[in-house]
Amino acid sequence: MKKFTYVLLFFCMAIFISFMLLNKETSRKIEVNHRTHTNIFEYEIPLYLKLYDFFNRHFNYKHLVKQINTDQVNLEDIIINTTKWVNQNIQKVPEGVAIVDHYPLTIVQRRLGAQYQFSEILSVFLTYLNIDSYFKNDTHHQLTLFKVNNYWSVLDPYYGIYFTNEKGIFASIEDLKTTKWDILNLDSQKINSLYISNIFSNQFQNYADVEEYYSQLFFEIQPSKQIDDMNIFDRGGKAYIQKPLNRLKYEIYKFFKKFSF
């Protein structure tokens, strides 16, 4: 009887402590017009609600990628189809409309995204399809990097294009840096000077300008081996910290990195 009393007391104390912790106030930030005249809005929210929102986003991502690829089986088709969904369902932020930088799911909810946000949400979707992915966010035009068949390749969901090598498969980073490559739209049609305006509006005069533009972007991408050797949480973007287990690993990694010398 005495042992039962101690167990019951311990159980009640655990519930009380958990209740106190979960009701602890924490903060949430929303950035508006990120990278220009950033306004940061911060407000308090109880921890239990923050955890609820986190798991809600997690299950939304799982549901979305499954729904997007209901009829897809082939891995390459899944990658292209997911990119097409982002390109066709997220609209470019019109001039004068605020860019909201909150959680990646916000991009889907608003159906609006700045250029970098197209690559951000695509990288999240790909990781939920168990495809290694992140977006390179330290250039003037962000691209989505992803790993397929043990090598890294590149997508541009903002313009709705991908890149193939001379064999007709996804071009590796090394292909893009050193050999000839083709640009394809998301219907797998090769792009040439006749179709440039359909994809890029008036940004480029001819196909050579497009090639030069992307060649410079590819030059700035790290080699595949360097990406593989890098900790996933140091690659960039938020794709690797949306799943609960990964988020726990990230917090542990961040804690020890803070005190490492």
**Span 213-255, pLDDT tens digits:** 999 999 999 999 999 999 999 998 899 999 999 999 998 998 8
Number of domains in the chain: 1
Cα(first)–Cα(last) distance of the chain, in Å?
53
**Domain enclosing residue 84, as ranges:** 2-258
Using pLDDT thresholds of 50, 70 and 90, give the confidence band for residue 23. Answer: low
The span from the CA of 63 to the CA of 57, in Å, is 10
As a whole-number percent, the residues of the chain with pLDDT over 70 amount to 84
Q: What is the mean pLDDT of residues 128-148?
A: 90
pLDDT for the residue numbered 255: 84
Phi/psi region, residue 131 (left: phi>0; alpha: psi -120 to 50; beta: rest), is: beta
* Average pLDDT over every residue of 62-85: 95
What are the phi and psi torsion angles at 178 (to 5°)? -125, -20
Model confidence band, residue 170 (pLDDT cutoffs 50, 70, 90): very high
What's the pLDDT score for residue 3? 59
Kindly list the strands in the beta sheet with 161-164, ordered across the sheet, starting from the edge strand earlier in the chain.
133-136, 143-148, 151-156, 161-164, 182-185
Report d(CA 202, CA 209) in Å as an integer.
Answer: 12
DSSP structural state of residue 221: S
pLDDT at residue 17 greater than cutoff 60: no
Mean of pLDDT values over 60-72: 94
Where is mean pLDDT largest: 135-139, 193-197, 209-213? 209-213
pTM of the predicted structure, to 2 decimals: 0.86
What pLDDT is recorded for position 16? 46
Q: What is the DSSP letter of 92?
A: E
* pLDDT average, residue stretch 27-33: 69
